[in-house]
């Protein structure tokens, strides 16, 4: 699967409270959540971005709460992929489970500037910076997680298992 869009760049330790503040958690409707995606970090984010764009961030993206509303908000806002140096573990799990593509790739993060046009091949983990014509290889997912991703997330995976 190939994804392409513009990069929006943020720093380290972007927590789930700024990704989707608790004041909006009285609903789990993805479209409602999407309206407030990253609101406390970058209030203009929703207006500036267009569907397909990527978030590029530093260490420990998604730290804090276990709220799945965070990757849901990002996905429903139309963000195609998050590239970071590292992800907080619950966010990592949640993103895989709900089918939000994420990649760990410090060499790409350090090079990519805000606004660069990025293309990602999710299956191979290859990241192309079309603005600078550079190419990066993300950390590959272990086999089990590949299987999860190919099943289309955890629920589909479990549904298959339950049937067997």
Partner 1 sequence: MAMTMVEKILADHAGRDEVSPGEIVTASLDLVLGNDITTPVAIEEFKKIGVEQVFDSAKIALVPDHFTPNKDINSAQQSKLLRDFAQEQQLENYFEIGEMGIEHCLLPEQGLVHPGEIIIGADSHTCTYGAFGALATGVGSTDMAAAMATGEAWFKVPETMKFVFNGELAPWVSGKDLILYLIGDIGVDGALYRALELGGEAVSNLSMAGRMTMSNMAIEAGAKCGLIAPDEKTREYLAGRSEVDYKEYLSDPAAEYYEVKEYQVEDIEPQVAYPHLPENTRGISEVEDIPIDQAVIGSCTNGRLEDLRVAAQILEGQKRAPGVRLLVFPGTQNIYQQAIDEGIIATLIEAGAAVSTPTCGPCLGGHMGVLAAGERAIATTNRNFVGRMGHPESEVYLSNPAVAAASALAGKIVSPEEVL
Q: Which residues bind partner 1 (CB under 8 A)?
A: 12-13, 15, 17-18, 21-23, 25-28, 40-41, 59-60, 63-69, 71-72, 86, 88-90, 93-94, 97-98, 142, 144-145, 153-155, 158-159, 161-163
Phi, psi dihedral angles at 112 (to 5 degrees): -70, 135
Compare residues 9 and 119 and give the one whose CB is closer to partner 1.
9
Cα 116 versus chain centre, distance: 17
CB of 40 to partner 1, least distance (A): 4
Query: What gap in Å lies between CA 29 and CA 131, rounded to an integer?
Result: 35
* Other C-beta atoms lying within 10 Å of the C-beta of residue 80: 21
**DSSP 3-state of 17:** helix
- Containing H/E element for 7? strand 2-9
- The two tokens of residue 116 are 């660069």
Distance between CA atoms of residues 17 and 154, nearest Å: 24
Nearer to partner 1, 130 or 155 (CB): 155
**What minimum distance in Å lies between the beta carbon of 105 and partner 1?**
16
Q: Please state, in angstroms and rounded to a whole number, the distance separating the CA atoms of residues 84 and 61.
A: 7
Which is nearer to partner 1, 23 or 48 (by Cβ)? 23
Beta carbon of residue 18, minimum distance to partner 1 (angstroms, whole number)? 5
What is the closest distance, in whole angstroms, from the C-beta atom of residue 145 to partner 1 in the complex? Answer: 8
CB of 108 to partner 1, least distance (A): 19
Relative to beta strand 81-84, strand 102-104 is parallel
In the complex with partner 1, the residue whose CB is nearer, 118 or 138, is 138
Q: Which is nearer to partner 1, 50 or 144 (CB)?
A: 144
């Amino acid at each position: 699967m190939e994804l392409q869009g513009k990069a929006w760049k943020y720093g380290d330790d972007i927590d789930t409270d700024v990704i989707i503040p608790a004041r909006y958690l009285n609903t789990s409707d993805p479209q409602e959540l999407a309206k407030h995606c990253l609101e406390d970090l970058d209030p203009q984010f929703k207006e500036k971005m267009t569907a397909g764009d990527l978030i590029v961030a530093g260490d420990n993206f998604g730290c804090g709460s276990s709220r799945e509303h965070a990757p849901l908000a990002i996905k429903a806002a139309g963000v195609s992929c998050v590239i970071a140096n590292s992800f907080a573990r619950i966010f990592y799990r949640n993103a895989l489970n709900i089918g939000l593509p994420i990649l760990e790739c410090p060499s790409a993060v350090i090079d990519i500037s805000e606004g660069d046009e990025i293309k990602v091949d999710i299956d191979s983990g290859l990241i192309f910076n079309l603005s600078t014509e550079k190419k990066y290889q993300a950390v590959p997912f272990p086999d089990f997680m590949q299987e999860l991703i190919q099943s289309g997330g955890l629920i589909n995976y479990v549904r298959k298992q339950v049937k067997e």
